[in-house]
Amino acid sequence: MNNIVLSMKAIDKRFSGVHALKKVDFTLKEGEIHALVGENGAGKSTLMKALTGIFPKDSGEILYRGKLFNPHSPKQALTAGIAIVHQELNMMDHLTVAQNLFIGRESTKFNGLFLDAKQQNQRARDLLKKLNMDIDVELKLGDLTVGKQQMIEIAKAVSYNLKVLILDEPTAALTDTEIEDLFSIMRDLASKGVGMIYISHRLDEIGEISDRVTVLRDGELVGTEKTSELTKEEMINMMVGRVIYEKPKCKSNCPPDAPVVLKISNLCAGSMVDNVSFDLHKGEILGFAGLMGAGRTETMRALYGADESTGGIEVYGRKVSIKTPMDAVKLGIGYLSEDRKRYGLATKLSVIENSVMASYEELSPSMLIKEKVLIDSTNRYVEKLSIKTPSIDQFVRNLSGGNQQKVVIAKWLIKNSSILIFDEPTRGIDVGAKSEIYALMNELVKEGKSIIMISSELGEVLRMSDRVVVMNEGRITGILDIEDATQEKIMGLATLYK
């Protein structure tokens, strides 16, 4: 693992108003798993996009296998043996596994006149066997778990005589078992000489899987260290330039006599929400924990009117009917979805347009739009939430994941929602942005707002919650006061079948 397969020297890149990369150096050895970390907006994705030909670097040089390398497209990089697996998978659910693996390179017969499905399926089986992946190649991709789909994307990349594999947040939506399977595949590829660049915000995983760590901050190289010689605390300090403490909450911050602002009784929806009952108090952070598929998100969608449901809902002691999300919004309920790009944002619109889209009636009640009011409201929350953007006219799609998340929060704060549902509020964002969102949530409940927080990270649940609701197979299996909550108790309830 001493041969350098990739060397990036003094890579510089500017966008309008942003100096994204400032003379960054990076090297990758054959058979190495090299973690690339930093806060959102640090330059990680920009560096990888320059490497894979998504856009050109402004200056600097890339040496790949000892030769100058200047790819003009991802296809050119892939043909050369450099592939990237994005967090948002780029495959076709309606096609089979084999069809996805060899799309554009299909097996044919009779001089290319007809597809040869039999031969293509066998090629797929041979490839997956080589990678120790036990997946039926004739299944439709959409019928597989996210973890299996990700493995197929990796297999597709490997089929191009791969030398460098870039994995961007590969474990964000995986179960613990799927993560173990992914790591086994990564170690197998490393043993065969494939160099891997591993981008992740999960620092414990980086400590487990990587050989070296390179840290970027604000577009600059902070340093590269052997993983074995770097503690988690040192890594965080390199990333954010300050010490961040993560301690579980010892006692509830919600007053014992706080009034109930939301009461749910016998809520049922589809097969994933079965007779769910709970209440939420003013100034409380109510955590929802459980394994993937436990029904937490489905419960919140039913409560919010996104899915049909039966049962009773009371808001501030008054029985209400919530049939659509608009009904929920009018009652002062805001919902930050786990899939912010699909349900929370209009990524082709600007920061200001996203921030005020739920509040036009309040901010401009007359026929004429009061532009100054919209601008002042947006600027107030851009400053309050420390949203990093060149201007409020910047397209949201150009912001980092953490800043996109803050724009969604700004939308509901401008709307002045008193009940906020945060579904995986820190998924895919860095440790610094996480800390800022935690501080914001604590500030919001001090102001009298109430928060329901779904999180798959038990450390996050224990750090933020005043009480913890645990679900399994669509039912609530227990509600714990934070004083009594431990990871062991939560996992016990999360695997308790009724």
For the packed helices 176-191 and 146-158, what is the interaxial angle rounded to 10 degrees? 10
Place 245 in a pLDDT band, splitting at 50, 70 and 90: low
The pLDDT of residue 244 is 59
Task: Verify that 286 and 170 share a domain, yes or no.
Answer: no
Sequence-distant (≥ 6) Cβ neighbours of residue 110 within 8 angstroms = none
Same domain, yes or no, for 203 and 279?
no
Percent above pLDDT 90 for the chain: 48
The answer as to whether 182 is a domain residue is yes
Q: Is residue 248 part of a domain?
A: no
Regarding predicted confidence, which is higher, 153 or 229? Answer: 229
Residue 200 has pLDDT above 70, yes or no: yes
Residue 341 lies inside a defined structural domain of this protein: yes
pLDDT of 2 over the 70 cut = no
> Where would I find the H helices in 192-295?
203-209, 232-240
Query: Which residue, chain included where needed, has tokens 């096609």?
Result: 95
Angle at 47 between CA 45 and CA 51, to 5 degrees: 110
pTM: 0.63
Of 240, 268, 296, the domain-final residue: 240
**What phi, psi does 381 have (nearest 5°)?**
-85, -25
pLDDT in the model for residue 125: 93
Which domain CATH number covers 102?
3.40.50.300
251 domain residue, yes or no: no
- Same-domain check for residues 131 and 279: no
Q: Do residues 142 and 273 share a domain?
A: no
Examine the domain organization and report whether 210 and 309 are in the same domain. no
Residues 361, 479 share a domain:
yes
pLDDT value for 366: 67
Confidence of residue 17 (pLDDT cuts 50, 70, 90): low
Question: Per the domain annotation, does 250 fall within a domain?
Answer: no
Among 207, 240, 273, give the residue marking a domain's end: 240
Specify whether 267 is located in the same domain as 130: no
Same domain as 217, residue 286? no
- Neighbour count for residue 51 (Cβ, 10 Å): 24
Whether residue 353 is contained in a domain is answered as yes
Helical axes 371-384 vs 401-414, angle rounded to 10°:
130
Which two structure tokens, joined as six digits, stand for 52?
Answer: 């894979």
Looking at residue 373, its pLDDT comes to 84
Name the pLDDT band for 48 (thresholds 50, 70, 90).
very high
Could you list the residue range(s) of the whole structural domain that residue 134 is in?
A: 4-240
276 domain-assigned: yes
Q: Is 3 helix (H, G, I), strand (E, B) or coil?
A: coil
Same domain, 169 and 202: yes
Cross-strand bridge partners of residue 264: 278, 313
> pLDDT tens, 68-83?
999 999 989 999 999 9
Does the pLDDT of residue 1 top 60, yes or no? no
Note the pLDDT tens digit of each residue in 405-421. 888 888 888 888 899 99
Residues 273 and 234 in one domain: no
Indicate the residue type of 169: E
pLDDT of 113 higher than 60: yes
Domain presence at residue 471: yes
Work out the average pLDDT over 44-55.
Answer: 92
Contact indicator for 48, 168 with CB cutoff of 8 Å:
yes
Q: Contact 444/285 with Cβ under 8 angstroms?
A: no
61: left (phi over 0), alpha (psi -120 to 50) or beta: beta
| pLDDT (0 to 100) of residue 12 | 96
Return the structure tokens found at 19.
């100096």
Q: Of 206, 240, 274, which marks where a domain is finished?
A: 240
Q: Count up the domains in the chain and report the number.
A: 2
As a whole number, mean pLDDT of residues 336-365 equals 79
Annotate 244-268 with DSSP letters as a single string. -------S--S-TTPPEEEEEEEEE
Burial (CB < 10 A; 0-12, 13-18, 19+), residue 265, is: middle
Residue 240 identity (one-letter amino acid): V
- Alpha carbon distance 53, 72 (integer Å): 5
Same domain, 235 and 277: no
Please list, in sequence order, all residues whose beta carbon lies within 8 angstroms of the beta carbon of residue 218, skipping any fewer than 6 positions away. 22, 41, 42, 43
CB 153 within 8 A of CB 133: no
**299 and 228 share a domain?**
no
CA angle 287, 40, 72 (to 5 degrees): 135
Looking at the predicted structure, is the pLDDT value of residue 351 above 60? yes
Whether the pLDDT of residue 497 is over 60: the answer is no
Average pLDDT over residues 242-258: 80
Cβ 461 vs Cβ 468: under 8 Å: yes
